[in-house]
A and B are shown apart, each in its own frame.
Chain A
Amino acid sequence: MVLSIKTAVSRNAKILALFAIVCTAIVGLVHSLTKDQIVFQQQQDLLRNLNSIIAEDSYNNVIYQDCLILPNDALATAEPQKIYRARNNEKLIAAAITTVAPDGYSGNIELLIAININGSVSGVRTLKHQETPGLGDKIEVRKSDWIKSFNTKKLASKSDGRWLVKKDGGMFDQFTGATITPRAVVKAVRNTVIYFNEHQDKLFESASNCQNNDSVKDTL
């Protein structure tokens, strides 16, 4: 009896292990076949976002490889953020910085903010959010033009009172039924611009230190 249980267990274990190996092998194979394509897609997506806020013909470097990782405390975010630098023949044009607005109506709002070398905002895009559909999701460019209201805006000083939503006395519209979302976005953009203005030299001089960009073909 004991023996038969033993053989049954070891037989089942062997079958299970065999299936595990075969399944893992298949997943591994598909992964290795799609790996490059996935990285390529992510780069394309990033590039599309970057080009929507930094004029494509204003720079000529491979922008997603000219990338610097910012420490967590730079923008007071939980994750390290990235800054992409646009240069035209080594001349600095603009930088795009990823950041997170932690105080959205439902969770984090991930943003990409491009700032020209003179400190004016070149453009802002929402990368990811879970705001209420129909109310807070007007921060998406395909739902509303609101996010474009940052374009060309400059920050006069650190305590520039115009960089608030209208309800708080500033110059940015809030949405009907949703003030928290635009307030969070305005705050995050303002903080990023402040950080950019204060650290501009260092941000442009440091050597690129982002990983995972090597396997992608030069697409520019």
Chain B
Amino acid sequence: MNNISTKSPEELVIEILSTGQKVTLTRAESVIDALAGIGIEVPTSCQSGLCGTCKTRYISGEVDHGDCILSDEEHQEYLTPCVSHIKGGTLVLDL
């Protein structure tokens, strides 16, 4: 809650399930960069949605995926933060 930055008027928000921590971001900003901004380092490797190293579960939110590996079914529950963006509202990550 102390971590809310005011980068965007769109109010796109990531919420960390375990801590309740929140961060706002723009549509152009990737989830991984926004997380890094509040000190949360998710391991990555290819940084382009190919390897699945950063694959993370999410509870709710609208995600613009952009990876090359997850199936439509997996997209309902997982995202690759390295190439994913938020479409709208709040993305709750199982971290």
Do the two shown chains form a genuine complex with each other?
Answer: no
Interface residues of A (CB under 8 A from B): none
Interface residues of B (CB under 8 A from A): none
